Structure 1
Amino acid sequence: MDIEQSDLYESLKKIFGFNQFKGLQEDVVSSILNDKNTFVIMPTGGGKSLCYQLPALMKEGTAIVVSPLIALMKNQVDAIRGISENQGIAHVLNSSLNKTEISQVKSDIESGVTKLLYVAPESLIKEEYVAFLRAQKISFVAIDEAHCISEWGHDFRPEYRNLRTIIKQIDNVPIIGLTATATEKVQEDILKTLGMTDANVYKASFNRPNLFYEVRPKTKDVEKDIIRFIKQHTGKSGIIYCLSRKKVEEVSQILQVNGINAVPYHAGLDAKSRAKHQDMFLMEDCDVVVATIAFGMGIDKPDVRFVIHHDIPKSLESYYQETGRAGRDGGEGYCLTFYSYKDIEKLEKFMANKPVAEQEVGHALLQEVVGYAETSMNRRKYLLHYFGEEFDAVNGDGADMDDNMRNPKKKMEAQNEVAILLGVIRDTNEMYKPKEIVNTLVGKENALLKSHKTNCQSFFGIGKEHNHHYWMALIRQVLVADLIRKEIEQYGVIKLTEKGKAFLEQPHSFMMTENHVYATDDDGTIITVSKAKSVGVDDKLVSMLKDLRKKVGKQLGVPPFAVFQDPSINDMALKYPITIDELSKVHGVGEGKARKYGKEFIKLIGKYVDENEIMRPDDLIVKSTGVNSGLKLYIIQNTDRKLPLEDIAKSKGLEMPELIKEMEAIVFSGTKLNIDYALDDLLDEDQQEEIHEYFMDAETDKIQDALDEFDGDYDDEELRLMRIKFTSEVAN
């Protein structure tokens, strides 16, 4: 069908009301109008559906659109009917129709009224439909969400595998495959399976410069972190993804209790509830949808402002798809993911019952997700590299839109290590996946390495001064720098690129970015939410509580921080405790302190809650002393017995700074500790008095401020121990 460009633009204006095509749309539409097999890779929000809707409306006959999502079909059919006088212009053919509706669809197709027929792959398999469609004039077949064909895609559906055979039975018409996400492996798989290796391939850029990417450590208080985040984005629409239906229900209930208008959405709900919740979200009768990753939401809402992953997805494709639901209108889109390696281990356990081939695919995809979460390089560059697209991390559009770019990690020279890594890949004949390469470097034997006698080679263990985390991080960065690549056929096997071979001939500087470690804080302690910067707290209440703290401190002749520290005040303004028992569960308070100072504070908070009609997050008040009770008791008993602190630390396998941290947690939550005996060995009476007076008059008890004040007269350990003594005597 030869068509003039002017006709094309006229149809675009007449049917859709647009003057211009977006991105690659014009080329794709022309390819279909010229009866060519066509493959389109276009990110969410790029205007994929117009690519087949416009040619379907312009060509003679009916176009069949295969789509996996009933909800999405319904949306699209409604949209097409909205631009036409005739209801029959677009139809759905799936299991939701009754007999009368099915005969209406058939009669509209026979009379040439229907231009677009949306079909689920399961319906297309039915012999009666195949026989009926064989007798009709079909213009082309469009396969939406084509990644469902590939077991390497994030949403593999076995029934998609037979589509080529069924299409052939109906008519020898052009095929158009469309997907919003596909790595080279998935693309190759789709083209092969559909038998259209001759297709015109159109690939749009995957970059969504308006999206901000952040990965945070997932703590046991992840629900609190989510509530804080949402309260910072009040009134904005968001989606939260969880891996299980149970978690979806739990999270949506916690949000509701905390005054957030949220609804659950998963395959276990009946169709009526799902439709209702989806409409509530679209019509802005609720702000947040909590949904399972397994369930494609098919929601085309342009103003979703944040997407939160409570659990890490199973592949980077899923992650890209799901985060892509934010900011489709080009406005703000915040993509926040909570990551813990424990979740990866859980997913690996789920895979254990699957066939070996499927397990291999699953593990390979998961490792890509781990790489993305743990990397400290530009996240956008990492993500786009995964989809085979180069990105300039300095000047590219949206280059600074992620947590790693806003808070850059240290870089270190790794020229020698890169040369060692590339040398090992070369000397093991480029036959190993990253895990085996790393095992070779650190000298860890396994059956595969033994079978190839790699463990007997001179280079075995050549990199053992670094751990496996280091080498994995380096492999990921070298991969993005294009010195190595992953083989498509034997997915995951690492090969040297021409650039990598050149590096081996002539090594040059390679600056490696330090990786994130998600289990611990910088000083080795487990990260807890109370240590994180306090966000989403009630600022007005904070300032009232600080005024009261000052007043109480004055009455008792102690500095304000000796009454309650700032983290405790912030936690009160998040949890609104109104009884002594609730106050004792606030971060850094404890029972002793709550009883000693709490009365006026809970009275103030109670009054504030009533006057401002505040929904209190009762179920979120979780006790978090930061010290397990056995260790706490051991420290209290042995300081009472005046056991040297070094001995207490040693017997519990702690370093001195760790012991001091535990003792701080004890006294900050209101329990006394007597460590005079230890301090008397360190500091004389005058020195102790000098530091005591400093804390008495200080605005804050921050150790850095004290170090600055004394300018090297006392070290960190001495000041911390004195702060413990001071807090114990004055505050408790």
Structure 2
Amino acid sequence: MNGTVVMAEMPEMTKTPESDALRTLHRVFGYDSFRGEQEAVIEHVVAGGDAVVLMPTGGGKSLCYQIPALVRPGTGIVVSPLIALMQDQVDALRALGVRAGFMNSTQDFDERRVVEAEFLAGELDLLYLAPERLRLDSTLDLIGRAKISVFAIDEAHCVAQWGHDFRPDYLALSLLGERWPEVPRIALTATATHATHREITQRLGMPQARHFEASFDRPNIQYRIVPKDDPKKQLLRFLKDEHAGDAGIIYCLSRNSVEKTAEFLCKNGIEAVPYHAGLDAGTRARHQSRFLREEGLVVVATIAFGMGIDKPDVRFVAHLDLPKSVEGYYQETGRAGRDGQPSTAWMAYGLNDVVQQRKLIQMGEGDEAFRRRAASHLDAMLALCETVECRRGQLLAYFGQEPGAEGCGNCDTCLTRPETWDGTVAAQKVLSTVVRLDRERRQKFGTLQIVDILLGKRSAKVIQFDHDQLSVFGIGQELSEAEWRGVVRQLLAQGLLAVEGEYGTLVLTEQSASVLGRQREVHLRKEPKKVASARGSAGKGSGSGKSKVAVDLPEEMLPLFEALRAWRAEQAREQGVPAYVIFHDATLKEIVLAGPSSVAELGEIGGVGEKKLATYGEGVLGVLEEFAGAEE
């Protein structure tokens, strides 16, 4: 599946003229041309063909089903797992003049009856449904009583049982093709390996689908992974130095860590709210709503948060714990910079992450096949963390995309090339210590004890077990404690050491013998002491707390841009919708640069469709005129 793979001929149908889709794009959404694969996907679906679409977050997936739903006769059914976000998605479409509705468990009987009546009367262009509703005969009967233009299955990776976000309800969605074979289906996801891609096709029953795969590259995101050294303080420095006042998401592995991190940030002047499955539904909904509607709010969350978030101005995504897979990492980091502006994917990573994830796999539920698959996912994630090559290139290669030969120039390993060193002797010392404990004492210990022995530290535990009598005691004084922990971390990442049991003790692997027998060299990475700033030229302050959006505008134009943002914020408050529903920052930037003086000129700006022009045109021009008058 390199690029676009045609797996079957398109159905023989009368093809709607291409101009219909383009006219709809301009009239409704305010854009003059499609991006990348969008046009090919839309043409195929409008003509009645099934499609499986892999397109990165921010790549414009939603247009691939919204425009066919508007061009083809009938109502488009959108299957989405994101009940809490349906209202915002529908609000955004209604702001464009699209007749959209949703049905889910948050509505009462009367609200659902109104939507059902609109649907049956042909008064909806798009209807959003949660996958579990399609298990109900009443929902299927309702759909059968109206004309359907297209079935869109969003977040289609949820069908993959080996994926990072499996949802059992998705397994039943193959019935759509069985019951309505004449209606085109489009399955969309922002991330999937080739194996997951095949599983999506198989489980949704779409063997005749045409596959479209856009580039996974998000060049505006800078990927950075730093060694852990008091990670909460590292995070605080990162936020205050580079993202003061910016909206962002911070991911932690446990609920406890989420709560403590949010509390820590609040105490240090950064407005942050927690989000995890242990909070009651009302609190989660409030925090999510605040994140979508307020500018500059930080959410600290488990992986329960983020899928389907349409907020375009998320300036950073940070990880304080190692994700379980590259797919999960890519999906989560992809929530930054949907508007194409400079953004950062930052992660603090350390030895305990490796030990903990290995232990979770070993001690977790599932059969041996499941553990092997989980271990292979973790191995790929560790390889991304430990690479000395371009980090973006490694990420793209994981998804089967050929990386550039020269590196990206916008990740930490490109900005500050890591040094490597011959760590063979150091590796032999660590492995020998593990061997001595096992063979001479029949004992197994974790990293702390191994490092204390190598450094010759007579800690209470070393003395208790007479480990100062071992021949390896004190043979590693050429490295510091932090450096030895780095050696152990990289040996674990390379599969030369393994973690065993509840207490995370270190044991040898089959590969260890080749190092101890001097048949294999071990090359290790030296962590750079300082990483180049992500946005040194973006005009950020050092902890002022004021939001400065990363837009490429001349300094003298920034006041007008901020005036338009203030006007937009007021409109959003009045209407109770997120600010980006009014206009994206990219649209405001184009308005500032173009300086339209009439409604007609404003209508030529990207992102200003007919409905928004009619609703907000005079207001925008009023801000421009007022600002121009104040400068005279």
TM-score in terms of structure 1 length: 0.56
CA distance in 1, matches of 2:181, 2:532: 62
CA distance in 2, matches of 1:353, 1:412: 35
Q: CA deviation digits over 1:539-583, x for unaligned, max 9?
A: xxxxxxxxxxxxxxxxxxxxxxxxxxxxxxxxxx9xxxxxxxxxx
Q: CA deviation at 1:249?
A: 0.8
What's 1:175 paired with?
Answer: 185
What's 2:331 paired with?
Answer: 321
CA distance in 1, matches of 2:302, 2:187: 26
CA distance in 2, matches of 1:4, 1:166: 27
CA distance in 1, matches of 2:350, 2:111: 49
The one-letter code of the counterpart of 2:91 is D
Q: CA deviation digits over 1:466-520, x for unaligned, max 9?
A: 69894xxxxxxxxxxxxxxxxxxxxxxxxxxxxxxxxxxxxxxxxxxx54367xx
Q: CA deviation digits over 1:438-466, x for unaligned, max 9?
A: 88x99xxxxxxxxxxxx9xxx99667666
Residue pairs, 1:418-457, within 5 angstroms: none
Q: CA deviation at 1:147?
A: 0.7
Q: CA deviation at 1:184?
A: 0.7
Residue pairs, 1:375-454, within 5 angstroms: 375-394=387-406, 399-410=408-419
Q: Give the alignment partner of residue 367 of structure 1, picking from 357, 372, 379.
A: 379
State the SS of the aligned residue for 2:127.
strand
CA contact (8 A) 2:419 2:525 kept: no
CA contact (8 A) 1:241 1:308 kept: yes
Q: Give the alignment partner of residue 227 of structure 1, picking from 236, 243, 250.
A: 236
CA distance in 1, matches of 2:330, 2:41: 23
Kindly indicate whether residue 61 of structure 2 is the aligned counterpart of residue 22 of structure 1.
Answer: no
Q: CA deviation digits over 1:12-60, x for unaligned, max 9?
A: 1112121111111111110101111101110000000011001101111
Q: CA deviation at 1:72?
A: 3.2
Percent identity between the two aligned chains: 44
Gaps of 5+ in 1: 414-434, 443-454, 471-513, 523-530, 536-572, 574-732
Q: CA deviation at 1:4?
A: 1.5
CA distance in 2, matches of 1:382, 1:10: 39
CA contact (8 A) 1:262 1:286 kept: no
Kindly indicate whether residue 73 of structure 2 is the aligned counterpart of residue 73 of structure 1.
Answer: no
What's 1:134 paired with?
Answer: 144
Q: Give the alignment partner of residue 41 of structure 1, picking from 49, 54, 69.
A: 54
Structure 1 residues 6 and 341: alpha-carbon distance in aligned structure 2, compared to 1, 3 A threshold: same
Q: CA deviation digits over 1:78-122, x for unaligned, max 9?
A: 1111122x7xx2121211121111211211111111121111111
- Comparing 286-295 with 384-393, greater Cα deviation is found at 286-295
Q: Give the alignment partner of residue 110 of structure 2, picking from 91, 100, 104.
A: 100
CA distance in 2, matches of 1:270, 1:297: 19
Kindly indicate whether residue 345 of structure 2 is the aligned counterpart of residue 335 of structure 1.
Answer: yes
Q: CA deviation at 1:284?
A: 3.3
CA distance in 2, matches of 1:308, 1:110: 45
CA contact (8 A) 2:261 2:300 kept: yes
What's 2:261 paired with?
Answer: 251
The one-letter code of the counterpart of 1:255 is L
Q: Give the alignment partner of residue 121 of structure 1, picking from 131, 138, 141.
A: 131
CA contact (8 A) 1:64 1:140 kept: yes
Q: CA deviation at 1:71?
A: 3.0
State the SS of the aligned residue for 2:331.
helix
What's 2:159 paired with?
Answer: 149
Kindly indicate whether residue 365 of structure 2 is the aligned counterpart of residue 354 of structure 1.
Answer: yes
State the SS of the aligned residue for 2:124.
coil
What's 2:19 paired with?
Answer: 6
Q: Give the alignment partner of residue 187 of structure 1, picking from 194, 197, 209.
A: 197
The one-letter code of the counterpart of 1:363 is A
Kindly indicate whether residue 92 of structure 2 is the aligned counterpart of residue 82 of structure 1.
Answer: no
Q: CA deviation at 1:326?
A: 1.5
CA contact (8 A) 1:42 1:204 kept: yes
Structure 1 residues 327 and 122: alpha-carbon distance in aligned structure 2, compared to 1, 3 A threshold: same
State the SS of the aligned residue for 1:185.
helix
TM-score in terms of structure 2 length: 0.64
CA contact (8 A) 1:312 1:343 kept: yes
Q: CA deviation at 1:370?
A: 0.8
State the SS of the aligned residue for 2:63.
helix
Kindly indicate whether residue 68 of structure 2 is the aligned counterpart of residue 55 of structure 1.
Answer: yes
Q: CA deviation at 1:360?
A: 2.4
CA contact (8 A) 1:376 1:515 kept: no
CA distance in 2, matches of 1:534, 1:408: 11
CA contact (8 A) 1:372 1:382 kept: yes
State the SS of the aligned residue for 1:516.
strand
What's 2:484 paired with?
Answer: none
Structure 1 residues 375 and 174: alpha-carbon distance in aligned structure 2, compared to 1, 3 A threshold: same
Q: CA deviation digits over 1:575-600, x for unaligned, max 9?
A: xxxxxxxxxxxxxxxxxxxxxxxxxx
Q: CA deviation at 1:202?
A: 0.9
CA contact (8 A) 1:152 1:185 kept: no
The one-letter code of the counterpart of 1:79 is A
CA distance in 1, matches of 2:314, 2:259: 21
What's 1:304 paired with?
Answer: 314
CA contact (8 A) 1:180 1:321 kept: yes
CA contact (8 A) 1:125 1:166 kept: no
State the SS of the aligned residue for 2:525.
coil
State the SS of the aligned residue for 1:281.
helix
What's 1:202 paired with?
Answer: 212
Give the alignment's Cα RMSD to 1 decimal: 3.2
CA contact (8 A) 1:37 1:199 kept: yes
Q: CA deviation at 1:405?
A: 1.4
Residue pairs, 1:688-727, within 5 angstroms: none
State the SS of the aligned residue for 2:87.
helix
CA contact (8 A) 1:131 1:170 kept: no
State the SS of the aligned residue for 2:62.
helix
Q: CA deviation at 1:402?
A: 1.2
CA contact (8 A) 1:378 1:393 kept: no
State the SS of the aligned residue for 1:48.
coil
The one-letter code of the counterpart of 2:130 is A
Q: CA deviation digits over 1:144-201, x for unaligned, max 9?
A: 0111111232211122112103552355522111000011111111111122222111
The one-letter code of the counterpart of 1:371 is A
CA distance in 1, matches of 2:150, 2:266: 47
CA contact (8 A) 1:130 1:170 kept: no
The one-letter code of the counterpart of 2:64 is C
CA distance in 2, matches of 1:136, 1:256: 51
Q: Which has the larger radius of gyration?
A: 1
